[in-house]
Amino acid sequence: MNTTTKLASAAIAALVLSTALAQAATFQLQGNRPQLQQQTATAAATKLQLAKVAGCIVAGTPVEFPNDVWIVNKGLGKLVAGTKVSWAVSGYSAFKGTHTLVADLTPGQGVHLSNVLPGGVEAGHACSAKAL
């Protein structure tokens, strides 16, 4: 392979990988409990999403400014008990933590972390999570 072919192959591989790793799910609040809405993904993305993918959202009680976080399995594979998930609320450097799952979390399923945000944050506020 010449250099041009190698560079083109690397660029295509990077594009496929970045597309596959893009989060293919969104949250929708229904009352105090977030619901995960799965979206379609390409075959390559589906295979790669079997990796550990987690997300989170600020939701719970009180309804408007909850002090709770929901951690959700956004991948297609199960997050097994004992998996550590780090989470952080954007714009609030002190609002972050790590949670160890005590039970398996199947795709689309979530776990409620109660009273982890002192003072509360607006419901639906951006939050990120990562399975470690």
68 within domain boundaries = yes
* Total count of domains within the chain: 1
* CA 34/CA 53 separation, integer angstroms: 17
Query: 76-114: per-residue pLDDT in tens?
Result: 889 999 999 999 999 888 899 999 999 999 999 999 999
7 within domain boundaries = no
Higher pLDDT: 2 or 46? It is 2
Peptide bond into 62 cis (omega under 30): yes
58 within domain boundaries = yes
66 within domain boundaries = yes
* Domain of residue 56, residue span: 26-39+50-131
69 within domain boundaries = yes
Question: CA gyration radius for the chain?
Answer: 17
CATH code of the domain containing 60: 2.40.30
Query: 17-48: per-residue pLDDT in tens?
Result: 444 444 444 555 555 566 655 554 444 444 44
* CA 47/CA 120 separation, integer angstroms: 37
1 within domain boundaries = no
Answering whether pTM is above 0.75, one says: no
Q: How confident is the model at residue 52 (pLDDT cuts 50, 70, 90)?
A: confident
99 within domain boundaries = yes
* CA 64/CA 44 separation, integer angstroms: 39
CA torsion sign, 114 to 119 to 123 to 125?
negative
Phi and psi (nearest 5°) for 14?
-65, -40
16 within domain boundaries = no
